[in-house]
Amino acid sequence: MSTISFEAPRGMRDFYPEDMVWRNRIFDAWRDAAEHFGFQNYDACVVESLELLQRKSGEEVSEQIYAFEDKSGRKLALRPEMTPTLARMVAAKQKRLPFPIKWYTMAQCFRYERMTRGRKREHDQWNMDIIGSQEVLCEAEILGAAVYAMRAMGMPDEAWRIHVSSRALLGELLAVSGIAEAQHPAVFIALDKRGKISDEEIAALLCSEGLDDGAIEKTFRLLNVTSLEEATALAGENSPAIQNLKALFTIAESMGYAHLLMFDIAVIRGLSYYTGIVFEAFDAQRKFRAIFGGGRYDSLLALVGGQPTPAVGMGFGDVVVGEVLREILGEDAPIAREGYCIGYMTAAERSAAVCLATRLRTEKNRVDLSLVAQKPKHFFGKAGNSNARFAIFLGPDDVASGKVQVKDLQTRESQEINL
Amino acid sequence: MSTISFEAPRGMRDFYPEDMVWRNRIFDAWRDAAEHFGFQNYDACVVESLELLQRKSGEEVSEQIYAFEDKSGRKLALRPEMTPTLARMVAAKQKRLPFPIKWYTMAQCFRYERMTRGRKREHDQWNMDIIGSQEVLCEAEILGAAVYAMRAMGMPDEAWRIHVSSRALLGELLAVSGIAEAQHPAVFIALDKRGKISDEEIAALLCSEGLDDGAIEKTFRLLNVTSLEEATALAGENSPAIQNLKALFTIAESMGYAHLLMFDIAVIRGLSYYTGIVFEAFDAQRKFRAIFGGGRYDSLLALVGGQPTPAVGMGFGDVVVGEVLREILGEDAPIAREGYCIGYMTAAERSAAVCLATRLRTEKNRVDLSLVAQKPKHFFGKAGNSNARFAIFLGPDDVASGKVQVKDLQTRESQEINL
């Protein structure tokens, strides 16, 4: 029979056990952080209706959707992000849910796009959303949980920063500059492309949206605002957007992560539905793409046909953070040794080994029981390369005496136990 | 803007937080069992190449594959099961992997089929596989981990049984009955349909495979064998298949789950690649479909073009076990209360509440901090309905005195702590 490719489909990832060590480090930190901050877990199928995804998604994403028809001709797709699904699920039970709700999920998402470094066609994304409250404490809680997760993964505080801005503030500043509100959405989309395309191309985009040269110049000048003080001078002390940002920085102080926040007017976020504070986290060197991002999107539910409801959300993919962690901690970041390996010399000792394994497992220990009889040298070689903390090898003498040595693979010490 | 459907696509499931309590109970038990038995975690994308899936899958599954083309015309599909992916991943690194390997995964799988009770178009499946050993200890370890998981979910031993048979044994018995080996695969497929179609239809299937009336009668007579002793009398004491089954029962005795095993010659398994021991678990009442199933499949790797390698595997879906658990434990099976709820009377107490929440979270507690100021009655009502163990409400007097009451929602007792 002819062989077929052993590769995963293009852009899709395989995770061998050695890869899972990294992935589980990330997933465990996500889950742990969300649970510690009192978020409730939800999930949905990776397949969604194409109509829902097209309704909600930004223009760029819509072209990148993996769409297909099922055998009844239903138009389906692999979701590119979780937010449309969240909006649908919340809208379906909007009258019964105990708002404000704090929900999280870890979801595989797909985008068909050209393959470049760090860009796969699928990734896993941690989403946290708080729906039903306008309090800036929502933003603070979501950022607090993200900080908790980063620390749980072993990321040092000095290695990264959360860049914070506000769509509402930028809107106020554009208004002060005399740019009509109707043009703001197009300006946001154009400015978000900064760094990806040249400033000349952005200027051309703004021009095609009807901004004259003076308005374009004023727009670029706004991007030179480098501090919240400067922004305050332009927008005024009474600006709701400024007061909101300052309140966030104050709560972050109480929560112990204000030193991780920096005001950055260049943070826009690509999707059109953000309405208030927006944020993106980057490694301090800015070598990698954004680690996570999100913000307030008070108009999302109305977009899918639900009741207008204030909301804040965050998306945190597994690819970029994995690259940053490997860069900072090294490929061989240590793994905690845990549990037992049990081996045996001949088939005659196997039954005693099975009984010992069963006893240790009943006591809630992790036990890797050898499937085949083997020489001690071979067994201890494999045990040393495993993640086990303790190794036990049963020879005929051990079974006869009813006692066996437990070797601690970390300290190299041994201790005798009864069989 | 017109509204769109808030329903998940047909056959796909949404998981609200109340559903996740059940799902996480199942997933946590799976993960815990696999880790305790020393299995290593692996994973792969839900999208696979159609060619791989068609190559490996049985006839029935192949018709039910969700297939589609990506924008480059690649033929892709949503996997109906994890085994082809496992075979591909192992074949890709066959020269480097430290056989025998013990791997597990929890994977979403898709089948396009008519909707009936307990049949969705997607489900999640726990897979454990041991590849590279012919020892029956492999089967015993996999069943031992499955038993561990069932107990961890709260399933009482008396509520379920593992039905065990052997393809090799049935092959020996068919040979003894004079049925040519070339016809065995077709006989297995026909017999596996028993209970789904009538015995007359099965007889017609066997007839179309070239079995004469005598052979068909002998085949049905084999299905009346009800004990391992009876099978031994037919196959002989020296039958390798009988010795293998007896060895499994002996190890199961040492591992403490022999009382859960029962010999059942009717267990065949639908897929064509099984070669030895096969098993399926059912609720004791036989009200539901199989909870999990699997067996030895020594020829799988060769099927995808890898080197022939002995293997045993198990698939354990989340749908049937969820139905059985709800039936046996009740819809409202108790959940452990954990962590804190914190509320506050007015915005003036919010800062103290944030500081207390941060302190408790730093001490590794789960804390649900209220997002809005509220009256104590409202707060305690919500706290009582949550999964939190402790509730703390901050009023102006508490902040002034620097002391607050921690209410244990389980014991109804209160204790004072310093702010």
d(CA B385, CA A88) in angstroms, rounded, equals 25
d(CA B51, CA A4) in angstroms, rounded, equals 8
Which residue would you say has higher pLDDT here, B101 or B118?
B101
Q: Which residues of B touch A303 (CB under 8 A)?
A: 1
Q: pLDDT by residue (tens digit) across B347-392?
A: 999 999 999 999 999 999 999 999 999 999 999 999 998 889 999 9
Neighbours of B341 (CB within 10 A): 26
CATH superfamily for domain A17-329: Bira Bifunctional Protein; Domain 2 (3.30.930.10)
**H/E run at residue B238:** none
Q: Among partner residues A14, A341, A358, which is closest to B256 by beta-carbon distance?
A: A358
Select from A2, A7, A13, A14 the residue whose CB has the most chain B CBs within 10 Å, as the one to mutate to test that interface.
A14
Backbone angles phi, psi at B404, to 5 degrees: -145, 155
- For the ranges B157-161, B216-220, B296-300, the lowest mean pLDDT is seen at B296-300
Residue A210 near chain B (CB below 8 Å): no
Eight-class DSSP state of B46: S
Q: Among partner residues B5, B365, B372, which is closest to A135 by beta-carbon distance?
A: B372
Q: Go through B40-59 and write b for each residue having 16 or more CB atoms within 10 A of its CB, e for each that does not.
A: bbbbbbbbbbbebbbbbbbe
Neighbours of A143 (CB within 10 A): 27
Shortest CA distance from A363: residue in chain B: B36
Nearest to A247 by CA among A261, A268, A233, A266: A261
pLDDT over threshold 60, residue A57 = no
The confidence score (pLDDT) of residue A61 equals 61
The confidence score (pLDDT) of residue A122 equals 94
**H/E run at residue B410:** none
Q: pLDDT by residue (tens digit) across A76-134?
A: 999 999 999 999 999 999 999 999 999 999 999 999 876 666 568 999 999 999 999 99
The confidence score (pLDDT) of residue B1 equals 46
Read off the pLDDT of each residue in A236-249 and give the average, rounded to a whole number. Answer: 96
Identify the band that residue B140 occupies on the pLDDT scale cut at 50, 70 and 90: very high
A335: phi > 0 → left, psi -120 to 50 → alpha, else beta; which? beta
Task: Dump the DSSP string for B198-222.
Answer: -HHHHHHHHHHTT--HHHHHHHHHH
Alpha helices, H only, B223-269: 228-235, 240-255
Read off the pLDDT of each residue in A365-371 and give the average, rounded to a whole number. Answer: 96
CB–CB contact A12 B36 (8 Å): no
CB–CB contact A20 B36 (8 Å): no
Residue A131 near chain B (CB below 8 Å): no
Cα-Cα-Cα-Cα torsion A306, A311, A314, A315, nearest 10 degrees, comes to 10
Residue A86 burial class via C-beta count within 10 angstroms: exposed 0-12, middle 13-18, buried 19 and up: buried
**Helix, strand, or coil (residue B415):** strand
Contact yes or no for B63/B167 (Cβ under 8 A): no
The confidence score (pLDDT) of residue B119 equals 66
The confidence score (pLDDT) of residue B273 equals 80
Residue A332 near chain B (CB below 8 Å): no
Q: pLDDT by residue (tens digit) across A171-190?
A: 999 999 889 888 888 888 88
Strand order from edge to edge, sheet including A403-408: A367-369, A340-344, A390-394, A403-408, A414-418
Q: pLDDT by residue (tens digit) across B266-311?
A: 998 877 788 999 999 999 999 999 999 999 998 878 878 888 899 9
Contact yes or no for B404/B398 (Cβ under 8 A): yes
Contact yes or no for B41/B104 (Cβ under 8 A): yes
Contact yes or no for A366/A338 (Cβ under 8 A): yes
Quick check: ipTM above 0.90? Answer: yes
- Domain parsing of chain A, residue ranges: 17-329, 340-418
Alpha helices, H only, B264-343: 300-303, 318-329
The confidence score (pLDDT) of residue B58 equals 54
Q: Among partner residues A12, A49, A365, which is closest to B47 by beta-carbon distance?
A: A12
Nearest to A341 by CA among A300, A316, A376, A309: A376
The confidence score (pLDDT) of residue A112 equals 84
Read off the pLDDT of each residue in A223-237 and give the average, rounded to a whole number. Answer: 93
Task: CATH number for B340-418: choose from 3.40.50.800, 3.60.15.10, 3.30.530.20, 3.40.50.300.
Answer: 3.40.50.800
Size of chain A, expressed as the number of residues it contains? 419
| pTM given for the model | 0.93
The confidence score (pLDDT) of residue B154 equals 94
Which residue would you say has higher pLDDT here, B27 or B52?
B27
How far apart, in Å, do the first and last CA atoms of chain A sit? 50
Q: Which chain A residues in 262-301 lie under 8 Å from chain B, judged by CB atoms?
A: none
Residue B219 burial class via C-beta count within 10 angstroms: exposed 0-12, middle 13-18, buried 19 and up: buried
Q: Which chain A residues in 354-383 lie under 8 Å from chain B, judged by CB atoms?
A: 354-355, 358, 361-362, 364-369, 371-372, 382
Sorted by sequence, the CB contacts under 8 Å of residue B78 that are 6+ apart come out as A47, B46, B47, B48, B65, B66, B109, B110, B122
d(CA A122, CA A418) in angstroms, rounded, equals 51
Q: Which chain A residues in 33-52 lie under 8 Å from chain B, judged by CB atoms?
A: 35-38, 40-49, 51-52
pLDDT over threshold 80, residue A193 = yes
The confidence score (pLDDT) of residue B59 equals 53
The confidence score (pLDDT) of residue A2 equals 55
Radius of gyration of chain B (CA): 27
CB–CB contact A40 B17 (8 Å): yes
**H/E run at residue B43:** strand B43-44
Identify the band that residue A1 occupies on the pLDDT scale cut at 50, 70 and 90: very low
The confidence score (pLDDT) of residue A189 equals 84
Nearest to A47 by CA among B68, B58, B73: B68
Shortest CA distance from A341: residue in chain B: B38
Q: Which residues of B touch A88 (CB under 8 A)?
A: 5-6, 8
- For the ranges A36-50, A358-372, B205-219, B227-241, the lowest mean pLDDT is seen at B205-219
CB–CB contact A361 B16 (8 Å): no
The confidence score (pLDDT) of residue B388 equals 94
Beta pairing, strands B311-317 & A390-394: unpaired
Q: Which residues of A touch B255 (CB under 8 A)?
A: 354, 358
d(CA B310, CA B404) in angstroms, rounded, equals 64
Q: Which residues of A touch B318 (CB under 8 A)?
A: none
The fraction of chain B above a pLDDT of 90, given in percent, is 73
Q: Which chain A residues in 153-172 lie under 8 Å from chain B, judged by CB atoms?
A: none
Nearest to A407 by CA among A395, A417, A399: A417
Radius of gyration of chain A (CA): 27
Sorted by sequence, the CB contacts under 8 Å of residue A200 that are 6+ apart come out as none
